[in-house]
Amino acid sequence: MPKLRNIKLILEYDGTFYHGWQKQPDVPTVQNLLEDSLFHLFGQKTKVVAAGRTDAGVHATGQVINFTTDASIPFLAIKPALNSYLPKDIRVKKAKEVSSSFHAQKSALNRLYRYIIYQGSFLPPFYRHFVWWIPFNLEIDKMRRASQFLTGEHDFSSFEGQGSPSFSSRRKIEKITLLKKRRSIIVYIKADSFLYKMARNIVGTLAEVGRGKMPASQLRAILEARDRRAAGPTAPPQGLCLVRVRYEYWI
């Protein structure tokens, strides 16, 4: 009887033309295309599990997935073979055979997302799919002060998108870092996991602080409200990218 193997992949993709990660009927998603490519490779249906479900238009440089198969193809051949079937805006960066206990979602310790805001009167056309363009300068120091209220374990209901499938709104943000690089503000958010649209709702709220629409201290009251209406708008998807997923050990 063929041995059942557990395969881990690290993916990078440009999410511009996809309706997010999760499989859906009649629309292109990253999961749809990956599972179709695995069918071409193995000749059998293969279901994959992802570390995080990125939304429509959101990108990834370090999405982690795993799947099981009894196919005998060497894991070293999986990366080039899959990349020959996948579209050019979805790439397998690494492939590895791992322990049967590894689960891309449940084994993850934390996820790191990056969001890029581009400031200025002119948006270079090559940036349009990867940044949120705001045609004036935000006050990054105020945004940094506001972000400090969000670190630690909290109920993030105020930053949870409508229709979230989560049973609990408690999450732990380990760190939020805001960097200024020329015309861009780069926001890194590292948390144990994220609620639906949580990262984008946080960035949208921090931008309101940067605009001077709300004081930094209001973030405390927004958290305590546990009401999505208390927070700022949802930042657009194209500025967001899943950068890295960390596990207890790499196997």
Indicate whether 138 and 61 sit together in one domain. Answer: no
| 104 part of a folded domain | no
Q: Across-strand partners of 64?
A: 10
Domain assignment of residue 105, yes or no: no
Q: Are residues 45 and 72 in the same domain?
A: yes
**Domain containing residue 115:** 111-247
Whether 73 maps to a domain, the answer reads yes
Q: Give residue 173's region: left, alpha or beta (phi > 0; psi -120 to 50).
A: beta
Shared domain for 65 and 150, answered yes or no, is no
Question: Is 55 tagged catalytic?
Answer: yes
Whether residues 72 and 129 share a domain: the answer is no
Identify whether residues 89 and 123 lie together within a single domain.
no
Query: Which residues on adjacent β-strands are paired with residue 136?
Result: none
* Helix and strand numbers, DSSP H then E, in the chain: 5, 10
Catalytic residue among 14, 26, 36, 55: 55
Same domain? For 44 and 165 the reply is no
For residues 26 and 5, what is the distance between their CA atoms, to the nearest angstrom? Answer: 30
- Find the CATH number of the domain harbouring 204: 3.30.70.660
**CA-to-CA distance for 64 and 24, rounded, in angstroms?**
19
Residue 46: CATH number of its domain: 3.30.70.580
Q: What is the full per-residue pLDDT of the chain (251 aa) written as tens digits?
A: 678 999 999 999 999 999 999 999 999 999 999 999 999 999 999 999 999 999 999 999 999 999 999 998 988 899 999 999 999 999 999 999 999 999 999 999 999 999 999 999 999 999 999 999 999 999 999 999 999 999 999 999 999 998 767 689 999 999 999 999 999 999 999 999 999 999 999 999 999 999 999 999 999 999 999 999 999 999 999 999 999 999 986 54
| Residue 131 sits in the same domain as residue 214 | yes
Q: Global pTM?
A: 0.95
